[in-house]
Each structure stands twice: as structure tokens, then as C-alpha cells.
Amino acid sequence: MNGPPFRILVAKLGLDGHDRGAKVIARGLRDRGFEVIYTGIRQTPAMVARAALQEDVDLLAISILSGAHNTLVPRVINLLREQGQADVPVLLGGIIPEVDRPAMRAAGVAEIFGPGTTIGETADWILAALGRDE
């Protein structure tokens, strides 16, 4: 990566202990030169937004497999807006049914990555979104 590394928050949102995907993404992005702050599991929207604020992250990647995304993800995005971070892109990963995706995008999610997405695809998308194509 050219220039200083981007700072990315990888967050496990809600009552969901399935964190292998989040850990694989966190490690994979680290290997692509990102600085990844990992929150650990069972985070509330307030905890995730507070971490995004204090860490001044360039991008927020939320992993959620519990099915609670319709409730929790808009809450996080609203908190980001309230704290002056409306410009921070939000990525969603995990199990997000096709039928829910339009609502997630309408709520402000920039991109949704489901099972089978490679680290490379994710990293390339992030670099393009943050304006640093390689």
C-alpha cells in the first residue's frame, strides 16, 4: 500500500458469537497492509460507533450472522452521522438475505459481501472506495 496505512474497524455487531469470518477478514486485510482494529464479539451499536469515533477510522466493516441486521445496522449508521462521521463508508459482511439488501443500502450501507467473497475482492473494493487504486 502506498502512503500511510488506512485504519479500518472490523466489528461484530449484536448477540452473535460467530467470529471466524470477522477474524479471517481482519487478518486478511492486515496482510494487505491495512491497520485493522478488531472489536471482538457482542458489540452494541453504541460500542461500535464509539470505537469508530475514537479510532478515527477510514472505513467500518460490520460482520453479522444473527439476522438482526435490519434493526442494528441502521442504528450504527445513524450514530455515525450524529457524531460527524457520515463520510465513513460502511461495509456489511455475513448472512444478509437478498430481500433485505435494498433496505440495507437505503440505510447507508456502501457494499454487502456475502459468503464466498475473497479477501482480495474485499481489499480491492476498499482501496477503490477510499480513493487509492493500486
Partner 1 sequence: MTAPAGPMSPEHLAERLRNGDMRSLARALTWVERRADSFETLLGVLLPHTGQAQLVGVSGPPGAGKSTLISRLAEQYGAVQRVAILSVDPTSVVSGGALLGDRIRMTDVSLTDNVFVRSVATRGRAGGLSLACWDQALILDAAGYDPILIETVGAGQGETEVRYLADTTVQVEAPGLGDHVQALKAGMLEVSDIVVVNKADRPDSARTAARIRHTLALGMETGLAPHAFHGQANDTERGWVQPVLLTDALAGTGIDELQAQIAEHRDWLCASGARWDTEHRRAARLLNLLVDQGWQSRRRAMLEAAGWNDVVKTVADRQQEPHAAARRLLQRVFGDGSKG
- Which residues would be at the binding site for partner 1 (CB under 8 A)? 1, 4-5, 7, 26-27, 29-40, 43, 46-47, 50-51, 53-56, 82-87
Shortest distance, position 132 Cβ to partner 1, whole Å:
13
Alpha-carbon span 42 to 5, nearest angstrom: 27
Phi, psi of 5 (to 5 degrees): -65, 145
Q: How many CB atoms lie within 10 A of CB 39?
A: 22
Shortest distance, position 64 Cβ to partner 1, whole Å:
16
3-state secondary structure of 30: helix
**Shorter beta-carbon distance to partner 1: residue 55 or 100:** 55
Shortest distance, position 27 Cβ to partner 1, whole Å:
6
Report the alpha-carbon angle 36-27-4, nearest 5.
40
**Shorter beta-carbon distance to partner 1: residue 96 or 127:** 127
**Shorter beta-carbon distance to partner 1: residue 84 or 116:** 84
